[in-house]
Structure 1
Amino acid sequence: MVAPRRAAMRGASPSLATGVRTALTVISVALAGVLSALAVASVHMARRVVTPAVRRPDTRILSLDTAAQTITLSRTPDTQLPGRYGLFTDGTTEYIKLGSVLSEDDSSVKRKLLTHITADARLSPDAAFSGWYYDRADELQLPFTPELIGSGVGPCPAWLFPAGDGDVWAVQVHGRGTTRAECLRAVPVFHSLGITSLVVSYRNDGEAPRSRTGTYTLGATEWRDVDAAVGFARRRGAKRIILMGWSMGGAIALQVSLNSAHRAAIAGLILESPVIDWRLVLAYQARVMRVPGAVSGLAIGALQSEWATPVTRAGGAIPFDRLDVVSRAAELRHPILILHSDDDGFVPSDASHDLFAARPDLVELKVFEVARHTKLWNYDQERWSESIRSWIRARGLNPVSAGEGS
């Protein structure tokens, strides 16, 4: 007996059968094209995730008034923020400190210059807005020494700011696509409490040595370089260590907390705008960039698969399950202070809220608003600094008495 579909085809005219076959061929080719485009897009996204970022312009200098010492920038969600910030530029000056907003309209923002710019200065219109504020260790006007910390990839540069009796150290870890200068904002707070600061670098950040592939593993291997810094601190006399991580540095600090052989010496963690669950962050960024969910899903799938590493150029499969600290909350042993803005704009605060809900016995969450990613100090320095001081004092981690810290 001939199946009804095949019988119908046999009874159809030759032209109809040919048309159906042609249509099926076209559909198959189109589907293959769509799948190919999705694959290409997902590989591109996967590579972007693990490739160290290069600083790119995100605003433009519209005018510079050297007589009034003001600068007008194109308006963005960052350039309109209240507070003190920095600006990376090209020309006679590489970095400029910015003060308060003086005026604004729909397309521009005028700010006070806190770095003196001379009348003969020449600056490129393209610039990058920054939350660093300080870009050199000597700007803090505190004693410091440059150090080299031996790690599995070689010597990693660090800055050491001694304070107090040397018993308590804060090891600071910068985020993705930045360098250790990002962490300088917190050094004065620790110094005022008698806490030594060790501001570190790690593989592939542009200062520390390059790994074999030269790509990030989102904390899965970088934590070993920071763990080496913890060992360095202990050899120099540190008895209790606070880990402070900014953005991806938060993911790295959490991995040190979970995996380090020095866990007993870790007294707590301070996390600023931290990555706690990478899958949540990548999905959020994909939505912001209007990348289809299918593409971001394929990219994450490729990054966590060993077979795809030659295509993604990652050094190995990214262990997203291991990096998801919300799902591993029961394993945490150290007190944690999280500083995160619900208006972050880059790393959503959802996982910070989730971690607090999962471990309220260990986690203290200070929620900010308006402030953008890793710019909480810039937006509200007083509240940010006092949150850290109060948390440290409540745990008896400050060698300097509460009345002495500023």
Structure 2
Amino acid sequence: MIPLIIVFIIIILILAISYWAYRMAFFNPMEGRDNYYDLPPGEQYEPLWPRMTKMIDSMVETEFEEVYITSYDGKQLFGRYFHVSDDAPLEIQFHGYKSTALRDYCGGSKLAHRLGYNELLIDQRSHGRSDGSTITFGIKERRDCLSWINYAINRFGKDKRIILSGLSMGAATVLMVNDLKLPDNVIGIISDCPYSSPKAIIKKVCKDIGYPPTIAFPFIVLSAFIFGHFNIYESSPVNAVKCAKIPILLIHGDDDRFVPCDMSREIHNVRPDLIQFHTFPDAGHGISYLMNTERYEKLVEEFINNL
């Protein structure tokens, strides 16, 4: 009897720790999801707050069409469509982990508008006005990406040229979709500061906050499976780009203290034939555009013009 009690206690402890890990890593509550002005703190970001706030103000004031689709697993997903021209290419844009579309793309949207592209700016599942409460680090999000692509083709026609763009987790998402069958409409991908794999970034963050990765990570994997209903090993950017058939522009700040720049180097080294890789000196996570706007815009414009 005592051995059974001990086993039961161990199981309860494992489940309790796994649930705590799920809440920490993957759960995103509804409250505060649309706080566009929740800007990242720290010495790398605070000097940029006034400029970021002004750019977000511009995004908030810009008219858009509300768009809804249903995901492969029945969730309602929300997006904002910004129309420029019927004949223009469409850029589908994906924001980062526990962030907002209007914050992450306050610069990217400005650039797309200047270049004359239509935009479909997505609230990723479990963010903003989209359904869900579990973030899956690109595992399920990449299937949502494919759903948005198919929506665009059905709406705008089979000849519509589509560019995928992502920042941080969104950057990983648009790389991970390469291991699914992409329609020929997708002609290029812009990926700004992606991680190499969910495993790599989770282990890195565990180490940063003082949890031994070798101990914490197994509980995180278990929590994803039990409470999030996904397999963290199902896909990764570094593996998915092996299947890529279209050009990729990879951008990363070389002073990124959240997602190390070496993760993009690892991705680039897998497919140097298709991936253009550019680093931005002194740029932190997700702020390469703000640190050197002129160079960033030139790289993106040249990349798209050559597609």
- TM-score, normalised on structure 2? 0.81
Q: What is the aligned partner in structure 2 of residue 349 from structure 1?
A: 261
Could you tell me how far apart the structure 1 residues matched to 2:173 and 2:97 are?
10
Identity of aligned residues (%): 24
> How well do the aligned residues superpose, as a CA RMSD in angstroms?
3.1
Asked whether the 8 Å contact 1:42–1:295 carries over to 2, the reply is: no
- For residue 232 of structure 2, the aligned residue among 319, 326, 334 is 319
Asked whether the 8 Å contact 1:250–1:276 carries over to 2, the reply is: no
Measured after TM superposition, the shift of residue 172 of structure 1 is: 0.3
Measured after TM superposition, the shift of residue 346 of structure 1 is: 1.1
Asked whether the 8 Å contact 1:164–1:196 carries over to 2, the reply is: yes
Map 1:297-336; keep pairs closer than 5 Å: 297-303=217-223, 306=225, 309=226, 313-314=227-228, 316-320=229-233, 322-336=234-248
Aligned length: 288
Asked whether the 8 Å contact 1:39–1:298 carries over to 2, the reply is: no
Asked whether the 8 Å contact 2:177–2:240 carries over to 1, the reply is: no
Measured after TM superposition, the shift of residue 150 of structure 1 is: 3.5
**Does 2:70 match 1:157?**
no
Could you tell me how far apart the structure 1 residues matched to 2:58 and 2:130 are?
17
Q: What is the aligned partner in structure 2 of residue 123 from structure 1?
A: none
**Does 2:47 match 1:137?**
no
Q: What is the aligned partner in structure 2 of residue 77 from structure 1?
A: 43
3-state DSSP of counterpart to 1:235: helix
3-state DSSP of counterpart to 1:149: strand
**Does 2:95 match 1:190?**
no
Could you tell me how far apart the structure 1 residues matched to 2:251 and 2:32 are?
24
Unpaired segments of 5 or more residues in structure 2? 1-5, 34-40
**Does 2:304 match 1:392?**
yes
* Greater displacement, 289-298 / 245-254: 289-298
Measured after TM superposition, the shift of residue 43 of structure 1 is: 5.1
The letter of the residue matching 1:375 is I
Could you tell me how far apart the structure 1 residues matched to 2:282 and 2:185 are?
36
Asked whether the 8 Å contact 1:204–1:215 carries over to 2, the reply is: yes
Q: What is the aligned partner in structure 1 of residue 293 from structure 2?
A: 381
Map 1:86-101; keep pairs closer than 5 Å: 98-99=50-51
The letter of the residue matching 2:282 is V
- For residue 214 of structure 2, the aligned residue among 285, 294, 312 is 294
3-state DSSP of counterpart to 2:272: coil
The letter of the residue matching 1:217 is T
**Does 2:151 match 1:232?**
yes
3-state DSSP of counterpart to 1:323: coil
Could you tell me how far apart the structure 2 residues matched to 1:361 and 1:389 are?
20
The letter of the residue matching 2:288 is L
Measured after TM superposition, the shift of residue 236 of structure 1 is: 2.8
Residues 295 and 346 of structure 1: CA distance in aligned 2, closer, same or farther (over 3 Å): same
Measured after TM superposition, the shift of residue 268 of structure 1 is: 1.0
**Does 2:84 match 1:172?**
no
Question: If each structure's strand is expressed as a fraction of its own residues, which one has the higher value?
Answer: 1
Asked whether the 8 Å contact 1:303–1:317 carries over to 2, the reply is: no
The structure with more radius of gyration:
1
